Amino acid sequence: MNALLPNTTAVTVHQIARPDGVPTAAHFRFVETPPPEPVRGTALVENLYWSVDPYHREMMDAEFALDAPLEGRTLGRVVASRAAGLPEGAVVLHRRGWRTHAVVGPEEAHVLADLPGVPLSAHLGLLGGTGLTAYVALTRIAPLRGGEDVFVSGAAGGVGTAVGRFARLMGAGRLVGSTGTAAKAAYLTEQVGYDEVFDYREGPVAGLLARAAPDGIDVFVDNVGGDHLAAAVGALRERGRIVRVGTISQYNRPDTPPVRFDHADFVEKSLRMEGFLVRDHTHVRDELYAFAAPLLRDGRLVSDETIVVGFERVVEAFVSMLRGANIGKMIVAAATQTHTRT
């Protein structure tokens, strides 16, 4: 037992098998050990919030090692430090998630800025990788110009809600989204600021998009791929831009055939499509803070979150997110954190 944390057990989640389709609890194992000891130059962090993200499903196919702790964005408090840059009591963002305790060094943990009035969980949502993805998409990859019409696939997820809120604040024109239920569509139009949202299960996406945006679109932020991407190519106006963020439609169906669209549209309409990884844009984080933190503080910006309380429910939260049970960012909170329970 770690002498720094008496009567404490550390828990990690290991992936123990490769899934074929949607993962289940049988693909994971909870492992209990004594809390790890920090060595010189490191600190022991007790984790408070865990992010479960769609990209985790893709990594389960090969990149995550079996019988080893998973990784993911996490917020935690330093409880014992042997590193000058990680003082005890500081709250840090790091990637050694899916565990209750982690030993990290200064090079892999970011001490969070003190932002009074901003919920801590927002550092995994609008101020974290989710919000940074949306912000980079709209300012770097396909810079949004005032009045332009935007279509977002997977609009009720973490990135989709962030794109919607940011685009509205940045002066977007018509804001159109797709989602999987009428309840989510209502939430997006009533709470997030979308003008029109369709349920992609109601028919061919190309027809649904044409009805929602009869005059076309200028920017497409794509979290889904597949028929959404094909529909958007047809709907884009001249010099339209596509930002590829994810391919949710394929994560649980690796044998899905490639999307088919008219490649001539890219030449005839001077279209551009670009994907990116948010890890290559961490230098934009301070700019995101400057943009979003004041808006979060005064209520003009809201962090859309689904909070699941209890680390023991992290696998449940992950599988539920893959099945579309969340609105906004799916976050797991330690039982010690004060939240409405889900």
Domain ranges of the chain: 10-121+303-333, 129-278
The pLDDT confidence band at residue 1, using thresholds 50, 70 and 90, is: low
Q: Give which of 113, 117, 157 is closest to 133, Cα–Cα.
A: 157
Interval 45-103: pLDDT, tens: 999 999 999 889 989 999 999 999 899 999 999 999 999 999 999 999 999 999 999 99
How far apart CA 271 and CA 269 sit, in angstroms, is 5
Compute, in degrees rounded to 10, the torsion defined by CA atoms 257, 258, 259, 265.
-150
Q: Give which of 187, 124, 163, 84 is closest to 334, Cα–Cα.
A: 124
Please state which CATH number belongs to domain 129-278: 3.40.50.720
Interval 206-236: pLDDT, tens: 999 999 999 999 999 999 999 999 999 999 9
How far apart CA 94 and CA 255 sit, in angstroms, is 33
User: Which alpha helices (DSSP H) does 2-121 contain, by range?
Assistant: 54-59
Quote the pLDDT of residue 336. 87
CATH topology of domain 10-121+303-333: Quinone Oxidoreductase; Chain A, domain 1 (3.90.180)
Residue in the structure block whose two tokens are 């209502």: 186
Within this chain, domains 10-121+303-333 and 129-278 share the same CATH topology: no
Query: Where is average pLDDT lowest: 3-17, 172-186, 230-244, 248-262?
Result: 248-262
* Burial of 272: CB neighbours in 10 Å, binned 0-12, 13-18, 19+: middle
Name the helix (H) or strand (E) containing 294: helix 285-298
Asked whether the CA dihedral 225, 230, 234, 235 is positive or negative, the reply is: negative
How far apart CA 1 and CA 216 sit, in angstroms, is 62
Is it the case that residue 150 has pLDDT exceeding 50? Answer: yes
* Burial of 151: CB neighbours in 10 Å, binned 0-12, 13-18, 19+: buried
How far apart CA 287 and CA 261 sit, in angstroms, is 36
Token readout for 34 is 């004594």
pTM of the shown model: 0.92
The full length of the chain comes to 342
Interval 175-202: pLDDT, tens: 999 999 999 999 999 999 999 999 999 9
Q: What is the mean pLDDT of residues 137-159?
A: 98
